[in-house]
Structure 1
């Protein structure tokens, strides 16, 4: 039996799977076909992200929304160009595979191994993309400001987990008669926040270093930690009917020690990092040590059953305190431009929007429950803005909206619930609908919230250091 509790709290795509692994051991003749499929997939991903991203930008919508929509267009919901398992099983159906069969001699016997290899490589590149994104966001964040807003961010994170969980679980039990354990699992899915999506939007609209932006990022990081703990608890409950207290304590202590320890030790060692880069004579003397540092912390985050993105974010925060911050940021941007779109397109491509079809009788029960979950998901995060204290003139609506998108985090909850068998088909579909709608409505709403007059006083109260200008320069 698979230990779903352990599976749930490890990194989203289980990076321990070898890049070219498949259900059966692929032999050497499959490697060129896998490479060809990966190259075609990247061409499709980049075209989709740029074409639809540019279209959204011209409509004054966040380009990240275009990347998500582009993923839906080329993914399992529309043209089915990219290679992913279909409907949660291990059947494969993709136009890339058809193209390889007609042009590269891919045989039906080879197809499962080649398809699995392509899917694993693209998934790993996607996770690498979000690791780099959080490293970039950390570089553009102000650690002193994050520490200053830390209490507010902590309150926002706790409220953003507790309110939707409590209302969602109670509502499912009382209004829809859902059994307790499935209701708890669905309520837990409402607690998630996708830091990647919110951070990208904040960077695009140049609000990352505002007080609102720093509270959102700090709360989203803490929300991720809390989300991992909640997921571990409900996964254990679903599997065994009881909560493994030791595992929960380990996660709480591990998260605190890792985040605080990484930042504390990193600040002590950062002068040695600067000295090292100044003595290197070969190309990449700055970006390669910086990326190595980020990947080491990302590995440590994944190794102790937290998330790799927390480690890369901590690495960015540490290096942002050095005199090399601006130079590293400039050199990371081209790398992020290559890898980050893969993450957002893949999130969209793996999302099955067919569950939104009201004309399918099988979807109707799920859509009714989904309507309730969507309302709770949005309101439960918007109220987090009201929890901010000691910040006159701050845009509380923007803070609440920034916590709305569930993205890939919500899909992990749905995936674990489906795998454990605790969720009915209708409830699983309802969670997926909630994830889709919150992911796609949050970026434009966040931009609108920052355009409201109440956002301006807080924007003017940015730290005097001119950090906002450095973000604009890096863009």
Structure 2
């Protein structure tokens, strides 16, 4: 938690000082616990109400519920109502409506209020991370490992194209057209390579296209894209900090990501038998879902420990358990858990996005708006073209594949945040990246829906073929 970070404000030169300070900090933290809990509870009330209202409105308009949750996040977040804001946006506790409500109930010192604000924001951020982990575990359960293997080559080509094209166009265009220096241009180009697997996979699931050939190519490409994105992020972050690239770290990331993903699939057969044996021996309530969640969290932990994304581990866990006899029951058991945690992720993604950079009346925004327009064009073109590099799939819905790779989501925001924190990009370029992320994230769900057609329409020929395959 962030309280431990408060020790950094002191000069800890002697063990005696440290031993006398820790009990004081422990007492202070205990005193703040009720206020932190109240802040978390109020924030969750805001999140769940916003999520439900947004998804219901989206459903009424025949749009994806993900889009409704993202827009709801924009409304309650930093761009509008300030009901759900975070310290990383540059705001303090007094800027949060939730914190103001806490002040009304129990007045707090401004310094203490900021500490409560930081702590409750960290809790919500962790819950959002759990939400996306559970989402990817659920998507893994709904996926077909055999189908993913069948489209593996196409997914790899789509992923590599979706990384290379926007990176080259973005970096080169910024340097040639806008005279942006090399390091900021590389950072912005790297932000264009990302794909938000969480947003795309949820929309595909809602449209009933997750197991179609298009859906499996998108999903496989997004997974590979995520791994490539981690490597790109490590490279550009090192470049921003040191001005040079740590080749050994890049090699480590490539090897560890490959070993982890291949190893996860290979252990599937062994763990499937072990999972069924363990579940059969447990007699108390929750034997299946608890064992599955433990496995998913352990895989997420291992991925994180290898400096990969935790969501890759969760997805791999879902793929493994999808091969078990308990798969159908697991599919139903995970839904209420996903309904509880996943909305936190989507609403917070929207809440963190600051639309103030869209105001052309502010002179400092204008340069960013022009660059943002360029980045949006590159972001769309660089991903849409991926649908036309798929081979060996006659009649495939190429527009749907390209549309599925468009959303940058939280991944793009991470690039913008790290770039700004490291000083690699200035405010206009940061605003341009954020605008690009918001635009691509919001346009992807309706574009996917247009490409595939309404959920109640007959599925495509490729979808019929994939869903008619026998299930293990």
TM-score normalized by structure 1? 0.92
Over 3 Å counting, the alpha-carbon distance change for 1:236 and 1:90 in structure 2 is farther
Contact 2:148–2:220 under 8 Å retained in 1 = yes
Q: Which moved more, 1:90-99 or 1:113-122?
A: 90-99
Contact 1:22–1:117 under 8 Å retained in 2 = no
1:110-129 equivalence runs, <5 A: 110-129=112-131
Secondary structure of the 1:110 match is helix
Which residue of structure 2 aligns with residue 42 of structure 1? 44
Secondary structure of the 1:414 match is helix
1:64-213 equivalence runs, <5 A: 64-85=66-87, 87-88=89-90, 92-213=94-215
Shift of 1:272: 1.2
Which residue of structure 2 aligns with residue 52 of structure 1? 54
Which residue of structure 2 aligns with residue 464 of structure 1? 468
Deviation by residue 1:9-42 (Cα, 9 ceiling, x = unmatched): xxxxxxxxx3775646552110011001101111
Over 3 Å counting, the alpha-carbon distance change for 1:403 and 1:50 in structure 2 is same
Secondary structure of the 1:27 match is helix
Shift of 1:394: 0.7
Shift of 1:91: 5.9
Distance 1:451 1:321 in 2: 30
Over 3 Å counting, the alpha-carbon distance change for 1:324 and 1:371 in structure 2 is same
Contact 1:19–1:120 under 8 Å retained in 2 = yes
Shift of 1:268: 1.6
Q: Which moved more, 1:81-90 or 1:422-431?
A: 81-90
Higher helix proportion, which one?
A: 2
Distance 1:65 1:355 in 2: 21
Q: Which moved more, 1:126-135 or 1:271-280?
A: 271-280
Contact 2:166–2:378 under 8 Å retained in 1 = yes
Over 3 Å counting, the alpha-carbon distance change for 1:359 and 1:454 in structure 2 is farther
Contact 1:21–1:116 under 8 Å retained in 2 = no
1:319 to 318, 321, 326: 321
Which residue of structure 1 aligns with residue 241 of structure 2? 239
Secondary structure of the 2:286 match is coil
CA RMSD of aligned residues (A): 1.7
Over 3 Å counting, the alpha-carbon distance change for 1:245 and 1:90 in structure 2 is farther
Deviation by residue 1:180-224 (Cα, 9 ceiling, x = unmatched): 111111101100000000011011111100000000000000000
Distance 2:470 2:274 in 1: 26
Deviation by residue 1:279-325 (Cα, 9 ceiling, x = unmatched): 11111010000000000000000011001000000000000001110
Which residue of structure 2 aligns with residue 373 of structure 1? 375
Over 3 Å counting, the alpha-carbon distance change for 1:267 and 1:21 in structure 2 is farther
Deviation by residue 1:428-473 (Cα, 9 ceiling, x = unmatched): 1111110010000101001110019997222222142466xx9xxx
Distance 1:32 1:197 in 2: 34
Shift of 1:86: 6.0
Distance 1:23 1:83 in 2: 21
Secondary structure of the 2:87 match is coil
Contact 1:86–1:93 under 8 Å retained in 2 = no
Aligned pairs, number: 451
Over 3 Å counting, the alpha-carbon distance change for 1:232 and 1:86 in structure 2 is closer
Shift of 1:108: 2.4
Contact 2:79–2:353 under 8 Å retained in 1 = yes
Distance 1:165 1:231 in 2: 12
Which residue of structure 1 aligns with residue 418 of structure 2? 416
Shift of 1:351: 0.6
Deviation by residue 1:146-176 (Cα, 9 ceiling, x = unmatched): 0000000000000000000001111111111
Distance 1:314 1:369 in 2: 37
